[in-house]
Amino acid sequence: MAPLVNEHASILQNRPVGPGLHLLQLHMPVIARQVQPGQFVHMRIPGREGHILRRPFSIYDSDPEAGTCEILYQAVGSLTSYLPSLQEGEVEAIGPVGRTWSALERFREGSATRALLVGGGVGAAPLHLLARRLSEARLPFDVVLGAQTRDALVCLPRYERLCAAAPACSTDDGSFGFAGFCTPLVEERLAKGCTADGNPYDYVAVCGPEPLMRIVCGQAEAAGAYCELSLEKRMACGVGACLSCVVETVHGKKRSCVDGPIFDSREVVWA
Ligand SMILES: Cc1cc2nc3c(=O)[nH]c(=O)nc-3n(C[C@H](O)[C@H](O)[C@H](O)COP(=O)(O)OP(=O)(O)OC[C@H]3O[C@@H](n4cnc5c(N)ncnc54)[C@H](O)[C@@H]3O)c2cc1C
Ligand code: FES
């Protein structure tokens, strides 16, 4: 794992892309070069006294040559509601933090042969860099995306460019794709197998609201697939020192920031 750096990242772009959703493009060459899929940055806005604690955001995409990273964020509280007003200047980002998805390593060693990526809402963001790397390595994978409405499926065009088969989509309001939650689409794919060859998936990665992740983990385990999830615990230090982000696992308490945020689904003890 690359050593953590604290980069002063200049804002190149920060624009709305969907309901409450924004795309932030930052120039942070060291992190852009080192980041692995699923890792995140722990970010603060210099000079904002009200935001003493940093906030964690997954790297949605990175361009190592240009030295840029993108973050897809949802306005939910004080920092993410203020952030859209920043059109220039810089943020401070510690990163890249956390473990990466094990998919690429599993493909390399032969324990994964087909992957299914499942993203709910803004949970599609930490899976996108994984989809990019799988696509570049020409490894077979499919994608299931769920969102509240069609407008909120902001990642879909990017996934469409990376995936051999069109991602399966659901919307809560039925405005696009399957009407309802995306779990029936996951069930169907786990039963039918990979779109390309009909062979069973042996690797599932999921990120999204906790109830969705719980269901998908159960579905993957029942289908005999190895499953990983990205947990979104609230964090303070983000570097393993404060224990504010501990998760109960079958191996005892683990720190979500540095021992996660990616966990083996069989390891997590759900509350
Ligand atoms: C590893 C990791 C990666 C993340 N990646 C992304 C990402 O790519 N895009 C994105 O939009 N968000 C992401 N998040 C969530 C993001 O960190 C929070 O939305 C952000 O910290 C909220 O800050 P705020 O000041 O706007 O909200 P606050 O004012 O601090 O909180 C507002 C509300 O949001 C809730 N909240 C805050 N943080 C979390 C959290 N971690 N989990 C659940 N509820 C929370 C609070 O309970 C509260 O109700 C990630 C979280 C983690 C742990
Ligand atoms: S946030 Fe401090 S140990 Fe994880």
How far apart are the C-alpha atoms of 183 and 11, rounded to whole Å?
36
DSSP for 93-157, please give it: EEEEESPPPSHHHHHHHTS-S-EEEEEEGGGGHHHHHHHHHHHHTT--EEEEEEESSGGG-TTHH
Summarised one tens digit per residue, pLDDT across range 133-183 is: 999 999 999 999 999 999 999 999 999 999 999 999 999 999 999 999 999
Q: Which structural domains are found in the chain, ordered by start?
A: 5-97 (2.40.30.10), 103-230 (3.40.50.80), 232-262 (2.10.240.10)
Percent of the chain's residues with pLDDT above 70: 100
Determine whether the shortest distance from the Cβ of 95 to ligand 1 is under 6 A. Answer: no
Say if residues 21 and 59 touch (Cβ distance below 8 Å).
no
For ligand 1, say whether the CB of 56 is within 6 Å of any of its atoms.
Answer: yes
* Residue 195, pLDDT score: 87
Atom of ligand 1 nearest to the CA of 71: 8
Residues 47-98 pLDDT 10s: 887 778 899 999 999 999 999 999 999 999 999 999 999 999 999 999 999 9
For ligand 2, residues with CB inside 6 Å are 235-238, 240-245, 255-257
- In this predicted structure, the answer to whether residue 1 has a pLDDT above a threshold of 90 is no
Output the CA 201–ligand 1 centroid distance in Å: 31
- The bound ligand whose nearest atom lies closest to the alpha carbon of 43 is 1
Q: For ligand 1, is residue 79 a contact (CB within 6 Å)? A: yes
The pLDDT of 182-194, averaged and rounded, is 95
Atom of ligand 2 nearest to the CA of 241: 3
Residue 190 sits at φ, ψ, to 5 deg, of -65, -30
Q: Does pTM surpass 0.85?
A: yes
Ligand 1 atom 41, closest CA: 234
